[in-house]
A = this chain, B = another copy of it.
Amino acid sequence: MRVEIWSDIACPWCYVGKARFEKALAAFPHREQVEVVHRSFELDPGRAKSDIQPVIGMLTKKYGMSQAQAQAGEENLGAQAAAEGLEYRTRDRDHGNTFDMHRLLHLAKEQGRQDELIQAFYKANFAEERSLFAEGDERLVELAVAAGLAAEDARKVLADPTAYADDVRADEREAAELGANGVPFFVLDRKYGVSGAQPAEVFAQALGQAWGERSPLTLIDQGSTGADGDACGPDGCAVPPRP
């Protein structure tokens, strides 16, 4: 079974929702047969890479919240994160463009390090004092190395803005096609969806339901006029008539 998770590094609910999902997955009897893939979704794709702002300032400016409202939202998110055992800095976090991080996540996917890297990005963004955005590319390289990637691979991707850009865009297009307007968005075997940071119980139910309803395949062949496909099995390979 495959679970795809659309998320953004700048999305607090993605950070919290991942922990809730993982709690359900850890208790799922067939967890060894569940493959998790992270997909890209940018909450703020139009923001320039150079445009880095404190989260609270961004919330007041972009969504017209009062300073107090914005701070209260962060405190609430912090409490929800804490309930999942996650660190969350409710003050002085930065907000910025995450496109390069998504490109690096696609590199990491190819090397089997995607989960390690997204977790490193989340921790850097939500739990650590240092800004994830304000220190430039070398900060991302450092996190990539911590996740098990080679520094030179990460630098190469960062130096070439086209590297994995199409993969990020393809993920985002697919999110739209699947009806995801926000993140986190979880898709199980392309059949069931879970939208948002639902409680672990909901993820447990979704995993069980998707597992139980894995449906038999519909076989496609040449129809009544054609022959079966030639195959090899325990009794040897079909020997075709001489073509």
A206 to B218, CA, bound (A): 10
List B contacts of A231 (CB < 8 A).
Answer: 13, 17, 182-185, 195-197
A156 part of interface (Cβ distance < 8 Å): no
A229 touches B73 (CB 8 A): no
A8 part of interface (Cβ distance < 8 Å): yes
* 0/1 string, A172-191, CB within 8 A of B gives 1: 00100111011111010111
A217 touches B178 (CB 8 A): yes
List B contacts of A240 (CB < 8 A).
Answer: 76-77, 80
A198 touches B221 (CB 8 A): yes
* 0/1 string, A198-226, CB within 8 A of B gives 1: 11001001100100001111111110001
A121 to B239, CA, bound (A): 22
With A12-B232, A12-B237, A170-B33 already in contact, the answer to whether A194 and B221 are too (CB < 8 A) is yes
- Nearest residue (CB) in B for A222 is B202
Among A185, A199, A236, the one with the most B-chain Cβ atoms within 10 Å of its Cβ is A236
- Nearest residue (CB) in B for A109 is B112
A135 part of interface (Cβ distance < 8 Å): no
Among A33, A83, A195, A235, the one with the most B-chain Cβ atoms within 10 Å of its Cβ is A195
* Interface SS majority for chain A: mixed
A209 to B219, CA, bound (A): 11
B189 touches A242 (CB 8 A): no
* 0/1 string, A8-42, CB within 8 A of B gives 1: 10111110110000000000000011000000000
- Nearest residue (CB) in B for A198 is B229
B196 touches A243 (CB 8 A): no
Interface residues of A (CB under 8 A from B): 2, 8, 10-14, 16-17, 32-33, 43, 59, 62-63, 69, 72-73, 75-77, 79-80, 83, 109-112, 166, 170, 174, 177-179, 181-185, 187, 189-199, 202, 205-206, 209, 214-222, 226, 228-243
21 A-B pairs with C-beta separation under 8 A: A2-B2, A13-B231, A13-B237, A13-B238, A14-B232, A17-B231, A33-B170, A33-B174, A43-B234, A59-B236, A76-B239, A80-B240, A182-B232, A185-B231, A187-B217, A190-B190, A190-B215, A191-B217, A192-B220, A193-B218, A193-B220
